[in-house]
Amino acid sequence: MILQTLNHYYDRLVEEGTLERLGWQPVAVSYALQINDEGQITHVLPLMQEVERGKKKVLVPQNMNMPARVKRASGISSNFLCDNATYVLGLDNKGKPDRSIKCFEACRDLHIDLLKTVDSAPARAICRFFENWQPKNAENCEALSSFLEDILSGSNITFAYEQTNVRDWLEVQRAWDDYYNAKGEGQPMRCLVTG
């Protein structure tokens, strides 16, 4: 009885936004790539907010609840829906173009694996983006041109579809939750709360 009450309390705090759902966490995000049905970047949406720091106002990335981040030291491991330009766009500003291509391929594979069976327009658009994007053509992408320098500085970027962040689409959230829960670590056991 006490455990069930605590579980309901946790669920309520998640609904209110006080706590993050399992598999989700706050991430500082600077930009969203607005993509169309063909997966082409049509706009770059700045997501930074103006805050006061001392006597100045500065732009800072917006904290958004995104899929849980992977821990990476020196290996190649992509995050879902939100990462830096090396992973999402395959762009390099550190003199390691081969590594950037491998990072992009890891990001592409993760997104296509998770979204290929999801029946929703934003999921299909992201799959098309990763199937068609060529990192070598990034400098020719008109939508990126005025933001490219800041994006290359390490800013986290995500995706938007029809002016809505892709992470807000229920089908995409379910795909991530299923993936995150399926890769759980440890031995499966019976839940004391739900049975």
Q: Is 65 exposed, middle or buried (0-12, 13-18, 19+ CB in 10 A)?
A: middle
Token readout for 147 is 């933001």
pTM score, two decimals?
Answer: 0.84
pLDDT of residue 32: 96
Strand, helix or coil at 81?
coil
- Number of helical (H) and strand (E) elements in the chain, helices listed first: 6, 8
pLDDT of residue 185: 57
The domain limits of the chain are 30-182
Q: Give the integer Cα–Cα distance in Å for 58 and 142.
A: 26
pLDDT averaged per 10 residues, the chain (length 195)? 72 70 90 96 93 88 93 88 95 85 96 95 97 89 89 92 93 94 68 66
Token readout for 44 is 């770059």
